Amino acid sequence: MRQAVVFDLDGTLTQSEEGIFNSIRYVAERMGYPVPDAEELRKFIGPPLHYSFVNFMGMNDTQAVEAVRVYRERYVTTGLFENRVYPGIRRLLRTLKANDVFVAVATGKPQSPSERILEHFGLSHFIDRVVGPDMDTKDADKEKLIRKALPEHYDHACMVGDRKFDIEGAKRAGIGSVGVGYGYGSREELEQAGCNIYAETVEDLIQVLCAGMPVPRGQFLSMEGLDGSGKSTQLTMLKDHLSRYGYELVESREPGGCPISEKIRTLILSRENAEMTAQTEALLYAASRAQHVHDVILPAVRDGKLMICDRFLDSSVAYQGGGRGLGVEEVVAMNTYAVGTLRPDVTVFLDLPHEVALSRRMHATTPDRMEIAGEAFHARVEDAYHAMISREPERFVVVDASGDVQTIAKTVAERVIERLKEME
């Protein structure tokens, strides 16, 4: 049985107020109207723009046509990307696609910017058809858009939207509808318009649309680098970026990441344990990892989330295998006992010569037991990372970490998103 789902865009797939509000403010300022407050601005999301300028800003027809032109001036260059995918939507679309559901978008926003948004946020490959009015249509009739979005043959179809226009359009197009409460309309508005089902959250929507469907496996990303490579800063910036794209992140770190492993972390890194042997150290890292994989990493991946981990097994290979001189094969072997063959899908390596990393670390607060190891140790760690990268170039995203923070962050985000998309 072929199922088809047609989604509205703004307020249903993406939380788009930032770009829309900024562009309306721009129109008001440019055309000499009072700048609407937040509550007034919210009304603009959903209805056709021309309708909103007439009804909410008191314009006549000619003024509204000009307002739409001015709005687009800003929106198509900047506003379009001041946007974020609702958490969970990515998982929803992935699940529908993996289960052979026909997925379309029918939006009142013109077709070309809508396609650009979906492309920018890496959602296009989940969507079979995108339908929006062309740039010079004054009003976007949702019924027509929905009819155009539907496939030729289907057994069951529904429209998902956050405003009455979506629900009324679906009714006229002869299909069912789900009203969503996390967007820009109210429950009252959606129920009065006659939605068949009301879903308060994205999670509720997933329950409605994906009941009984297996969830595709999530992804596992790790971040590696020498101490002082700027890993923590870059990780924070990457997480911010990925959440905008609708990735549901589960964050963690090694050693640590769950209560038992955090206790092991304290043991390993404490400067009181100066006499700890390299073997003990390596086994403790592996032990902490075994618990962490069991408690955190595997459940996250199984639930379709994006597991993002500050260091993983590669750190053991580099620090204990290379730095402490235990040997790569030995360290891999003890970790295979701990975690089997589990490896990250993508590993970001922040590449910085150990001398530079060392001089950055000098400014840091109290260094831990690993950080006080000598320069020769960190030189061996660096070499071990590079050897790993040559063995598995397809897993690593190697980024030069010597430049400015923003440029590095942009490169990391672009390359990671590209990789994640390829795997979806």
- Interface with ligand TYD by CB under 6 A: which residues? 227, 253-255, 285, 310-311, 315-316, 319-320, 368, 370-371
Is the omega angle on the peptide bond into residue 255 within 30 degrees of 0, that is, cis? yes
d(CA 300, CA 308): 10
Closer to ligand TYD by CB, 14 or 320: give it.
320
- Closest approach of Cβ 324 to ligand TYD, in Å? 8
Closer to ligand TYD by CB, 248 or 254: give it.
254
Closer to ligand TYD by CB, 143 or 368: give it.
368
Q: Residues 278, 325: contact at Cβ < 8 Å?
A: yes
Closer to ligand TYD by CB, 168 or 310: give it.
310
- Closest approach of Cβ 227 to ligand TYD, in Å? 5
Closer to ligand TYD by CB, 129 or 369: give it.
369
Q: Residues 212, 304: contact at Cβ < 8 Å?
A: no
Closer to ligand TYD by CB, 176 or 353: give it.
353
Q: Residues 146, 173: contact at Cβ < 8 Å?
A: yes
Closer to ligand TYD by CB, 106 or 282: give it.
282
d(CA 397, CA 238): 13
- Closest approach of Cβ 118 to ligand TYD, in Å? 36
- Closest approach of Cβ 319 to ligand TYD, in Å? 3
- Closest approach of Cβ 254 to ligand TYD, in Å? 4
Other beta carbons less than 10 A from residue 321's beta carbon:
26
- Closest approach of Cβ 414 to ligand TYD, in Å? 24
Which pair of structure tokens corresponds to residue 297? Answer: 């990493």
- Closest approach of Cβ 413 to ligand TYD, in Å? 20
